[in-house]
Amino acid sequence: MEFGPIWRASLRNKTGPILMALQIALTLAVIVNAVFIIKQRIDKITRPTGMDVDNIVTVQSFGFGEDFNLQESVPQDLAELEAIPGVLAVTSSQHVPLSGSGWGTELAGSSEDGAPRVNGAQYFVNADAVNAFGVKLESGRAFTAEDVEYPESFGVPISQVIMTRAYLDALFPEGGAQAGATVYDKLGNPVTVIGVLDTMHGAWVGWDELENVMLVPRVMPVESNYYIVRAEPGERDRVMPQVEQTLLATNDRRVVKSLRTHSEIRDSSYQGDRGMAVVLAVVVSLMVMVTGVGIVGLASFAVRQRIKQIGTRRAVGARRQDILRYFMVENWMITTAGVMLGSVLTIAVNYWMVASFELERLDPLYVPAGVLALWLLGLLGVAGPARKASAISPAIATRTV
């Protein structure tokens, strides 16, 4: 292999190769970091919510008029909604998980003063909530109709809840807390955890404590609430219009609005993440394309400039494959210089992003994967020009001045 002369020759025409190597370095840094971010966003979007999102329909009931009473309306509404064929379970809920709006709460694992408080999302729900959300009970029990309270004011303390394992563990960092544990509200009132959920996502998908969720069996004295209607698999779209009709038929002193599928709600909450992933994917594609075109361009230029030299090499004994290899090796050296510099740059960019945007540290395996990808891009880019070069006739040696 003729690394020596190729290297020495390229030192005499270094501007093009150096610019190319820099472009490759930059490309590596951008695509590796971008792909890493894309991967994180995709992981975020596709992480399990704990709920049967794909089969759920949600709808808001908005009462008006003096004599509308939500607390009276809810039991009737639930009974009518449950009666719709294809409906698996229904609960009332003050808000819809993953929607971006909800109520937060603060609990502590101990009644002592100064005990650390942990934030979570709370949902005021009905007896069949576990089924209606399709969440999995890890231990303890679900609510019954007797558990559900209809308080006349906001101040009535909560006595029993179901919460996620994540929330329970956050309240008891030493671990091992089980159903039956007692937690404390802001005023120090004890609350019994009667059931523990595997996983359930709360309101705000960008929030770190998304998995801190608590269900409270209660219908609040307000005008508006949501219904979470879980359909049997495949029945959701058929059930959907009937949900609206049923609610209007049950009680006409209200507006029924925001009839949406839960997956639509989830998707719109993740729109920013998806948008980011798409934008970055476009940037990565463009970068790869521009660099690929650059590699092709530089290699074609190198070939065009050296037509006579190639003919001469052929005349003095180079086989076609020797010419092919010459350009492959030359290109490989440029790409390799680029990816070596690029690897350092990639890690530097990641450090900077970790420091400035609190991004996660790059998984180091992404760097060699990116290097491989660019090597491959280099090979693909140079293949055409190198083949053209290898097809140059040795007769060129005597036919060009």
Partner 1 sequence: MLEMHHISKVYRTDTVETHALRDFSLRVEEGEFVAVTGPSGSGKTTFLNIAGMLEDFTSGTYRLDAEDVSDLGDDARSRIRNEKIGFIFQSFNLIPDLNVFDNVDVPLRYRGFTGAERRRRIEEAVELVGLTSRMRHLPSQLSGGQQQRVAIARALAGAPRFLLADEPTGNLDSEMADGVMALLEDINSAGTTIVMVTHDADLAGRAPRNVQVLDGWVQDTTQAIDSPVASQAPAELAVVGS
Residue with tokens 């808000």: 95
Contact residue for partner 1 among 290, 319, 348, 380 (CB under 8 A): 319
Residue among 335, 288, 321, 326 at smallest CA distance from 306: 326
What number of chain residues touch partner 1 (CB under 8 A)? 29
- Kindly compute the dihedral angle of the four CA atoms of residues 213, 218, 219, 224, in this order, to the nearest 10 degrees: -10
Q: Residue 317 Cβ, how far from partner 1 at the closest point, in Å?
A: 2
Contact residue for partner 1 among 160, 199, 263, 309 (CB under 8 A): 309
Nearer to partner 1, 292 or 394 (CB): 394
Q: Is 395 a binder of partner 1 (CB under 8 A)?
A: yes
Residue with tokens 């891009």: 377
Q: Give the binding range for partner 1 (CB under 8 A) out of 3-11, 239-247, 348-356, 373-381.
A: 3-11
Contact residue for partner 1 among 3, 8, 253, 372 (CB under 8 A): 8
Q: Residue 14 Cβ, how far from partner 1 at the closest point, in Å?
A: 11
Q: Give the binding range for partner 1 (CB under 8 A) out of 166-174, 202-210, 334-342, 388-396.
A: 388-396
Q: Is 176 a binder of partner 1 (CB under 8 A)?
A: no
How many helices and strands, by DSSP H and E, does the chain display? 12, 11
Nearer to partner 1, 2 or 252 (CB): 2
3-state secondary structure of 138: strand
3-state secondary structure of 300: helix
Q: Give the binding range for partner 1 (CB under 8 A) out of 76-84, 109-117, 122-130, 390-398.
A: 390-398
What is d(CA 233, CA 252) in angstroms, rounded to the nearest whole number? Answer: 30
Q: Is 394 a binder of partner 1 (CB under 8 A)?
A: yes
Q: Is 401 a binder of partner 1 (CB under 8 A)?
A: yes
Q: Give the binding range for partner 1 (CB under 8 A) out of 5-13, 42-50, 80-88, 195-203.
A: 5-13
Q: Residue 305 Cβ, how far from partner 1 at the closest point, in Å?
A: 10
Name the burial class of residue 137, with classes exposed (0-12), middle (13-18) and buried (19+) by CB atoms within 10 angstroms of its CB.
middle
Residue 385: CA atoms inside 13 Å, Cβ hemisphere, count?
28
Nearer to partner 1, 355 or 401 (CB): 401
**47, 210 Cβ separation under 8 angstroms:** no
Q: Residue 394 Cβ, how far from partner 1 at the closest point, in Å?
A: 4
Binding mask 269-308 for partner 1 (x = CB under 8 A): ---------------------------------------x
Q: At 325, which amino acid appears?
A: R
3-state secondary structure of 301: helix
What six digits make up the tokens of 395?
A: 């007769």
- Would you list the DSSP string of 126-183? -TTHHHHHTPPEEEE----GGG-B--SSTTPPP-EEEEEHHHHHHHSTT----TT-EE
Q: Residue 384 Cβ, how far from partner 1 at the closest point, in Å?
A: 20
Nearer to partner 1, 41 or 313 (CB): 313
Name the burial class of residue 304, with classes exposed (0-12), middle (13-18) and buried (19+) by CB atoms within 10 angstroms of its CB.
exposed
Residue 274: partners with Cβ closer than 8 Å, 6 or more residues away: 41, 45, 267
Nearer to partner 1, 7 or 64 (CB): 7
**56, 259 Cβ separation under 8 angstroms:** no
Contact residue for partner 1 among 166, 203, 318, 362 (CB under 8 A): 318
Q: Is 317 a binder of partner 1 (CB under 8 A)?
A: yes
Q: At 32, which amino acid appears?
A: V
Q: Give the binding range for partner 1 (CB under 8 A) out of 50-58, 74-82, 221-229, 313-321.
A: 313-321
Residues forming the site for partner 1 (CB under 8 A): 2, 4-5, 8-10, 12-13, 308-309, 312-322, 393-395, 397-401
